[in-house]
Chain A
Amino acid sequence: MGRAPLPPCVPGLCYVYDGTWEGWLCCVLRSYLDREIPERIVPAGGEEASSLFGCREIRTDEAGAARVRKGVEERLGLPFVRTLQRTFCTCLPAKEWRMLLLTRKAFRYGTGILLYEDEETVHQVHRALTRLGSEIDKWWGFVRFSDIQGVLVSVIGPKNCVLPFLAPHFCARYPNEQFLIFDKTHHMALVHRPGETAIVPMEGFRMAAPSPEEQQYRQLWKLYYDTIEIKQRHNETCRRTHMPKRYWEFLTEFMTTPHVAAGLQKYYNKG
């Protein structure tokens, strides 16, 4: 490209940040101010951050984050910021480090680097984004609500952090309902009531016992699910390809609660 390469990776250097988006922006700032690229960037409190050797704690401050954000937005454009934010929500290993590399390269060579799909970092990011996208698609369909005293509640266990992307979908779909989606992987919850939506941290969540009416609808859905299969076409592989088993524990149709099974027995015997 005829330009000076990026500063070399400093072996052993590790940035520890607070795990937030603003925190990551401050890592970018630190990397620029000190003209260095760390070998790793890890969130505080994780396993990787426990070894103190070579670690540098990056303090999050509003002003620094705003400065980087403004710079990225003005020089690289909003679509690039969106790409970074989406990448930040994926479960790509070493995503913070790859994002830093991507950002620094973009500052040097332009956002065109995103088109180098045959380059390692870019390809990894693209792949992670595709996976995030397909996981969002899956959860649009696989979230199962239970009506608990008028509030719709649901528990999900996604690999990527999908709640920010589920929010607009479900808020548009059920604008006049109260609902809660608990993400048990990331310990966050999306809560909504008419006119108000928020994503809040939540340590744990236990669903209250379902009412008889709720039980009836669960039963009906399970019945429908089991009935709709054409037995002569049974194809377990195909089902698991589209709906991997890791989703099953969250799906009403696979619930093995005794009342659902018992209530349905008489209908199965007929078929």
Chain B
Amino acid sequence: MDVTEKLAILADAAKYDAACTSSGVDRSGAGAAMGTARACGICHSFSADGRCISLLKVLLSNDCCFDCAYCVNRRSVTTRRVSFEPRELAGLTWQFYRRNYIEGLFLSSAVWRSPDYTCEQMLKVLRILREEYLFSGYIHIKIIPGADPLLIERLGYLADRVSVNIELPSAASLAKLAPQKRKETLLTPMKQVRRLVAENTEGYGRFGGIQPVGRNTGSRDRAALQGQAAKIALDGGSGVGARNTARPVAVPESVSPTRYGGARRQRSGFAPAGQSTQMIIGASPESDRHILQLTERLYHAYDLKRVFYSAYVPAVESDLLPSADTPPPLWREHRLYQADWLLRFYGFQAEELLPAEEPELHPYLDPKCQWALRHLGFFPLEVNRASYDALLRVPGLGVESALRIVRARKIAALSWDGLRNMGVVLKRARYFLLCQGRRFPHLTRDRGAFLAAMMSARERALFRRQERDLYQPSLFDEMSWERGDAGLLAGSAVPRLTEKQKEALTAVPLPLWE
């Protein structure tokens, strides 16, 4: 079978993985090596579904011995099973990289024979790339749950980012849909990765610690390594205390890192771009509140860089799953990402965004608007005096706008015109701000106009359609509608409001102060 055919099958099988970022590490090229990495990440293309293509995202093999209900590669499905030769895949990556098609490699795999065997094969690919080709571009490696900790460690020293997919947001769903995966086998490697990343960034430095990259690490080395690992585990507990105990450990000569040239010298320890994870949204019944709280815990407990959400695309028929004609819950995925951003960059807590009495994200309002409508007492804010943190909570203001405001108001008091000239979008924000004590000129007390301003054109169109379905009098009777709504609606399912959300929308108090 030629490489074209393999690529067609193995890229097709890998495409449901959401993560495709090349961010988090800065590395300049040097010596004989080829390749650099930028902390901001670089997108090389965008596929027809609008997702970024940054890395060559393929499976090493789709020959799986697990039987997860949601997966296209499950053992019980009849499909062609193929695997890349390590050298073949490394060569392909190298050639793509040379032509600037990609930023690096995203290597995942089905569980091929056993987790250990799979990881060994992945390790081969990485070693060829890093040590023979002296490739110093980006590598994201997907850890196979259940693999030997030593293999995980080796993979991590060669990769930039490591990820373990948590797959489903609760242990119960995991047991139901992915019977061979258990919560523990997913969390143990995450813990290990967290510990190693911490060791390599804090006390240990670039050349200390355990870096088992020796060419011929035999059984003796292995024993020594396990000894070291055990010692650290005892010192540092289960990863949580690693911060305090991270001090250099004298490494025996045989285990000390072997350097191979440019590529190795450029790298700084274990998975310099940290770890991430992914979960599937919509295959199991968890609420948004549950997912968001889990996300927050993951960020705190495992120092994750990112949590990715992947809307479930029905690829296989199963009684345990939504039927095959269910459209992927793209709206929900989008809202979760918005909420995720609020957690990471806007200083929100999961509990604030979705309290127990409101467990779902709103289909028509973004999570910040949803929060703002529950906390109207927080507004209006005076643009010239509100703190940066408070500005970030204003619907319609992002990090960039808030920074601009804070910078510009040092020079002179800002006016509404000044805000507009700076490029601050006022469509939403005007309802929540005061400028030099004055509210936005000619702001009417009109509930329909207010709600319409809180939604995008597309959300408004969908909302109107749902209203019509429910035979409710429209909130928007007084509004003029943009033409071309129909085009916006093509192919999208109307998200449903819960009764509570419906009530909240129709009874929304107006944040218009006298």
On A, residues with C-beta under 8 Å from B are 112, 115-120, 123, 127, 137, 140-147, 152, 154, 169-170, 172-177, 217, 219-221, 223-239, 241-243, 251-253, 267, 270-271
- Report whether B47 and A223 are in contact in the complex, using a CB–CB cutoff of 8 Å: no
B231 near A: Cβ within 8 Å? no
Instruction: Give min CB distance, A104 to chain B, whole Å.
Output: 18
Instruction: Give min CB distance, A214 to chain B, whole Å.
Output: 9
Given contacts A233-B50, A267-B4, 20 further A-B pairs with CB under 8 A are: A143-B100, A154-B100, A172-B36, A174-B34, A177-B34, A217-B99, A221-B101, A224-B11, A225-B47, A230-B15, A230-B16, A230-B313, A235-B48, A238-B46, A238-B49, A239-B48, A243-B45, A252-B99, A253-B45, A270-B8
Interface residues of B in 403-450 (CB under 8 A from A): 404, 407-408, 410-412, 414-415, 417-419, 421-423
Given A140-B42, A141-B43, are A229 and B49 also a contact pair (CB < 8 Å)? yes
Residues of B within 8 A of A271 (CB): 8, 12
26 A-B contacts (beta carbon < 8 Å): A115-B410, A116-B412, A120-B421, A141-B44, A142-B45, A143-B100, A146-B99, A175-B33, A220-B3, A220-B4, A225-B47, A227-B15, A228-B53, A230-B49, A230-B51, A230-B313, A232-B327, A232-B328, A233-B313, A239-B48, A239-B50, A241-B50, A243-B46, A251-B45, A253-B45, A270-B8
Residues of B within 8 A of A144 (CB): 99-101
With a 10 A CB-CB cut-off, give which of B95, B96, B410 has the most chain A CB atoms.
Answer: B95
- By the criterion of a CB under 8 Å from any partner CB, how many residues of chain B are at the interface? 62
- Report whether B43 and A234 are in contact in the complex, using a CB–CB cutoff of 8 Å: no
In the bound assembly, the distance between CA atoms of A143 and B96 in angstroms comes to 12
In the bound assembly, the distance between CA atoms of A217 and B52 in angstroms comes to 20
Given A173-B34, A230-B16, A233-B49, are A224 and B99 also a contact pair (CB < 8 Å)? no
- Report whether A219 and B99 are in contact in the complex, using a CB–CB cutoff of 8 Å: no
- Report whether A145 and B3 are in contact in the complex, using a CB–CB cutoff of 8 Å: no
On B, residues with C-beta under 8 Å from A are 3-5, 7-8, 11-12, 15-16, 28-30, 32-36, 38, 40, 42-54, 56-57, 92, 95-96, 98-101, 103, 311, 313, 327-328, 330, 404, 407-408, 410-412, 414-415, 417-419, 421-423, 491
- Report whether A116 and B49 are in contact in the complex, using a CB–CB cutoff of 8 Å: no
Residues of B within 8 A of A141 (CB): 42-45, 54, 100, 103
- Report whether A118 and B408 are in contact in the complex, using a CB–CB cutoff of 8 Å: yes
In the bound assembly, the distance between CA atoms of A223 and B54 in angstroms comes to 16
Instruction: Give min CB distance, B335 to chain A, whole Å.
Output: 16
Main secondary structure of the interface of B (DSSP, over half): loop
In the bound assembly, the distance between CA atoms of A238 and B333 in angstroms comes to 15
In the bound assembly, the distance between CA atoms of A123 and B418 in angstroms comes to 10
A-B contact count (CB 8 A): 164
With a 10 A CB-CB cut-off, give which of B45, B98, B328 has the most chain A CB atoms.
Answer: B45
In the bound assembly, the distance between CA atoms of A120 and B418 in angstroms comes to 10
Instruction: Give min CB distance, A208 to chain B, whole Å.
Output: 16
Partner of A235, one of B4, B12, B35, B50: B50
- Report whether B48 and A234 are in contact in the complex, using a CB–CB cutoff of 8 Å: yes
Residues of A within 8 A of B30 (CB): 175
In the bound assembly, the distance between CA atoms of A164 and B78 in angstroms comes to 53
- Report whether B29 and A172 are in contact in the complex, using a CB–CB cutoff of 8 Å: yes
- Report whether A233 and B330 are in contact in the complex, using a CB–CB cutoff of 8 Å: yes
Instruction: Give min CB distance, A47 to chain B, whole Å.
Output: 30
- Report whether A116 and B408 are in contact in the complex, using a CB–CB cutoff of 8 Å: yes
Measured CB to CB, the nearest residue on chain A to B136 is A173
Measured CB to CB, the nearest residue on chain A to B3 is A220
Residues of B within 8 A of A118 (CB): 408, 414-415, 417-419, 421-422
- Report whether A176 and B43 are in contact in the complex, using a CB–CB cutoff of 8 Å: no
In the bound assembly, the distance between CA atoms of A119 and B412 in angstroms comes to 11
Residues of A within 8 A of B412 (CB): 116
In the bound assembly, the distance between CA atoms of A228 and B4 in angstroms comes to 14
- Report whether A174 and B49 are in contact in the complex, using a CB–CB cutoff of 8 Å: no
Instruction: Give min CB distance, A3 to chain B, whole Å.
Output: 16
Instruction: Give min CB distance, B81 to chain A, whole Å.
Output: 15
Instruction: Give min CB distance, A266 to chain B, whole Å.
Output: 9
Residues of B within 8 A of A231 (CB): 49
In the bound assembly, the distance between CA atoms of A117 and B421 in angstroms comes to 8
In the bound assembly, the distance between CA atoms of A224 and B328 in angstroms comes to 22
Residues of B within 8 A of A234 (CB): 48-49, 491
